[in-house]
A and B are shown apart, each in its own frame.
Chain A
Amino acid sequence: MADKKKNKIVLMKGEATFHYIALVIMTLFMLFCIVPLVLMMTVSFSSETSLVHGYRFIPEAWSLDAYAFMWAKRATIARAYGLTIVVTVIGTIASLIITSLFAYPLSRKDFKPRNVIAFILFFTMLFNGGMTASYIVWTRLFHIKNSLFAYLLPGALMGGMNVMLVRNYFNANIPYSIIEAARLDGAHDWTIYSKIMVPLSKPIMTTIGLFSALGYWNNWTAGLYYIGDPKLYTIQVYLKKLMDSIQFLKTTDLQDEAVLLAQRSLPTESARMAVAIIALIPVLIVYPMVQKELIKGMVIGGVKG
């Protein structure tokens, strides 16, 4: 008991107030993040008829209709899922390689044009050609329409912000003398990059990797703009198309009694949520694994501008 008292951290008055305010704010933030997830989950397990009265945290009537509907569409969903995984894995690896390869010379003091290149990079973060110009360039020049490159290339492969984060990490956390030591040991740039810089940058690589993976996983706009072939739908594109179809069915005035009946029994809201849950599963699995490195990377990468 006495030991407990001894070890108790005594907070100054101002500190204690700050702690309480911080606690309240962080709790609110946490709720803002968690409540929609919980709601999404419960809605996906609700019967469609019960949702007429609005969303509830505890469903009025439980139902697995949405998941049964998903199961019926399992072949399409599995293909979309597989494609999303392929795009995410390839895209993330490519993005990490390109981002770090771009950041490395920018972090080198002896690379003279680094300021000009950094400016160009920064400029593209603020200004770009807009959607129409990008669309024309990607489809007419690079012919990415209806190919996997549509998911990989436009805007997603390398973000200026990510390059800045990695460059800052290199600058702030890897002493320049280590690079100099490696050069004097006879290492050329590729060896320094691959054997020294990348292994020492796990936190920022994890952070960028996760950002990038999330970007690829959640990317539905690329599918919308460039993909017409249903075989090339990713899970997000499929979700979007599904939602559009359901919306279409709901809003179209159909005279056929049988279709009308089917339309009424079709899980709409719950199906949307079920697909969203399915799409969310990999992120929920991966995030806790990389959380520690992610926080480290974000904090350290943002230290120095």
Chain B
Amino acid sequence: MADIRFEDVTKIFPFQEVTGLFNRKQQKLILEQQKAMPYTSNEGVIALQHLDLHIKDGEFVAVLGPSGSGKSTLLRLISGLEKPSVGTVYFDDRDYNGVRPEDRDVAMVFQNYSLYPNQTVYKNIAFPLEVKHIPREEIEPEVNRIAELLGLDEKLDRLPQDLSGGEKQRVAIARSLVKKPGVLLLDEPFSNLDVIMRHKLRAQLKKIHSVYKTTFVYVTHDQYDALSLADRIIILKDGIKQMDAPTADVYNYPVNRFCAEFIGSPVMNFLEEIPVSPEGYFTILGERFKLTRQQSKALKKNEKITVGIRGTNIEIANEGIPAVVEYPEMIESDLIIHLKVGDTPLTAVEKISNPDQIRYFRDQEIHIKLDQDYFHVFNEDEERI
């Protein structure tokens, strides 16, 4: 078990050097791309900056962010595969900067499985115990137990090449859990799997967490994984922590526009550059609303606001704001209705159980209702007010 703390951690990856006679063009291209990254220093690309973090013992934390946001770097810093350029990583209040990965009580599930291709499933799972020189008679029941938990008991004699993607990932999870690590790191473990397998493994992972009660740090760019699994979500953008809050808060109270946009599907509707009267009144889609006293206080004089509304909070009613249906789209049990109010595009979401219940069609005139309780209001700095 482990309690992880990051204290003002910054990680800089040195720029690619252009060397040798061959591939110079390609190397220069990579260097240019690196120099065009949002945050760079003289030495290189800043992958993470001034990160303060506390992951409590036994927590299931998801780290969410787009590509290049520093998620994997964060994971590698915990694992010890990378060292911080500045700052300190603590495990149970002990400075772990100098501790090698093999000496940390950490296991990791990789996106590309990283199984040992020359070893059977049994050998793969047993490997972490074998390297600890645990007696064979103790290894066998442990491997069998975890293989059964993950439904791999029939596949123990197979080589990784004979397994499906889902099975490979389950072997990777089994291998990482068998040594009962203090921290389990998962680096986009389901990104190579199909939807059905994802659902199955998500449920399995949740079950495993409840059984093992070890600290799970799950890196993903898939918000569904994060929302369905984690107790807490950390959102990163360009190496900077945007939000660190319990899962429900991340969805309901995004701290800035980036978080609001990043979490939730379909993407939140944004109504931009809305002027606010000195009394706190503002008009959207022809309807008048008033900011709360707290919101008005947080706003500068003459500052315009952006209002975000989730599709699930737009009600289709018999009366209200007139809108025209562009097209309906069914994704699983969500019916996403693409609308236009004047020139403003919006998406509303309704729950349906089968395609026969779709009662909207192109150019249909409908009405929508907005509830101010579900408005997310952002200032010109894109911060929530």
Instruction: From known contacts A199-B118, A200-B117, A200-B118, infer whether A184 and B102 are also in contact, taking CB-CB under 8 Å.
Output: yes
Contact B108 A181 (CB under 8 A): yes
Contacts of A188 in B (CB 8 A): 102, 131
Q: Is A288 an interface residue (CB 8 A)?
A: no
Contact B102 A187 (CB under 8 A): yes
- In the assembled complex, the CB of B316 is this many whole angstroms from the nearest CB of chain A, namely 48
- What CA separation (Å) do A184 and B99 show in the bound complex? 12
Contact A183 B102 (CB under 8 A): yes
Q: Binary interface profile of B, 96-132, with partner A (CB < 8 Å = 1, else 0)?
A: 0000111010111010101111100000000110011
- What CA separation (Å) do A195 and B115 show in the bound complex? 13
Q: Is A129 an interface residue (CB 8 A)?
A: no
Q: Binary interface profile of B, 65-104, with partner A (CB < 8 Å = 1, else 0)?
A: 0000000000000010100000000000000000011101
Q: Which residue of A lies closest to B81 (CB)?
A: A180
- What CA separation (Å) do A178 and B112 show in the bound complex? 10
Contacts of A186 in B (CB 8 A): 102, 128, 131-132, 179
Instruction: From known contacts A180-B101, A200-B118, A305-B22, infer whether A187 and B127 are also in contact, taking CB-CB under 8 Å.
Output: yes
Contacts of A196 in B (CB 8 A): 116, 118
Q: How many A-B residue pairs have CB under 8 A?
A: 63
Contacts of B128 in A (CB 8 A): 185-186
Contacts of A191 in B (CB 8 A): 131
Q: Which residue of A lies closest to B100 (CB)?
A: A183
Which A173-199 residues sit within 8 Å CB-CB of chain B?
Answer: 175, 177-178, 180-188, 191, 195-196, 199
Chain A contributes a number of interface residues (CB within 8 A of B) equal to 18
- What CA separation (Å) do A178 and B81 show in the bound complex? 12
Q: Binary interface profile of B, 349-375, with partner A (CB < 8 Å = 1, else 0)?
A: 000000000000000000000000000
Interface residues on B, range: 20 to 34
Contacts of B384 in A (CB 8 A): none
- What CA separation (Å) do A188 and B112 show in the bound complex? 22
- In the assembled complex, the CB of A197 is this many whole angstroms from the nearest CB of chain B, namely 10
- What CA separation (Å) do A191 and B106 show in the bound complex? 18
- What CA separation (Å) do A115 and B81 show in the bound complex? 20
- What CA separation (Å) do A185 and B172 show in the bound complex? 11
- What CA separation (Å) do A196 and B123 show in the bound complex? 12
- In the assembled complex, the CB of A99 is this many whole angstroms from the nearest CB of chain B, namely 20
Contacts of A195 in B (CB 8 A): 116, 127
Contacts of B241 in A (CB 8 A): none
- What CA separation (Å) do A188 and B102 show in the bound complex? 7
- In the assembled complex, the CB of B97 is this many whole angstroms from the nearest CB of chain A, namely 15
Contacts of A187 in B (CB 8 A): 102, 127, 131
A sample of 17 more A-B contacts (CB under 8 A), given A178-B114, A183-B81, A188-B102, is: A177-B110, A180-B101, A181-B108, A181-B114, A181-B116, A181-B175, A182-B116, A183-B102, A184-B101, A184-B104, A184-B108, A185-B127, A185-B128, A186-B102, A199-B118, A200-B117, A305-B22
Which residues of A approach B to under 8 Å, CB–CB? 175, 177-178, 180-188, 191, 195-196, 199-200, 305
28 contacts across the A-B interface (CB closer than 8 A)? A175-B112, A177-B110, A177-B114, A178-B116, A180-B101, A180-B108, A180-B110, A181-B114, A181-B175, A182-B116, A182-B127, A183-B81, A183-B101, A184-B106, A184-B108, A185-B102, A185-B107, A185-B128, A185-B175, A185-B176, A186-B132, A186-B179, A187-B127, A187-B131, A188-B102, A188-B131, A195-B116, A196-B118
